[in-house]
């Protein structure tokens, strides 16, 4: 199934892309996706799934849009 991953802020530069469509197996979690795109998970991140806050262990579904951002704490 297809999901879209959108990166934000510094992650665009450290990971090397802004947005990408991934083909993943059913049962794939948000954390699996982060691992597959080689994000340094030691750094705190915030994740949104279809515009809602998401946790790493959530399973993704067909057509999901996963946004991954550094942990902004404010401007």
SS (H, E, C) 7-49: ECCCHHHHHCCCEEEEECCCCCEHHHHHHHCCCCCCCCEEEEE
Q: Shortest approach of other proteins to residue 29 CB, angstroms? A: 16
Residues of the shown chain interacting with other proteins in the complex, contacts defined by CB under 8 A: 6, 8-14, 18, 43-44, 46-48, 50-54, 65, 67, 69-75
- Residue nearer to other proteins on the CB measure, 22 or 67: 67
Min dist CB 17 to other proteins, Å, is 11
């Amino acid at each position: 199934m297809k999901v879209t991953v959108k990166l934000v802020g510094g992650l665009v530069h450290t990971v090397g892309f802004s947005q990408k469509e991934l083909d993943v197996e059913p049962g794939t979690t948000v954390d699996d996706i982060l691992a597959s795109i080689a994000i340094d998970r030691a750094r705190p991140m915030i994740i949104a799934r279809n515009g809602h806050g998401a946790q790493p262990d959530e399973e993704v579904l067909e057509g999901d849009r996963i946004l991954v951002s550094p942990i902004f704490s404010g401007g």
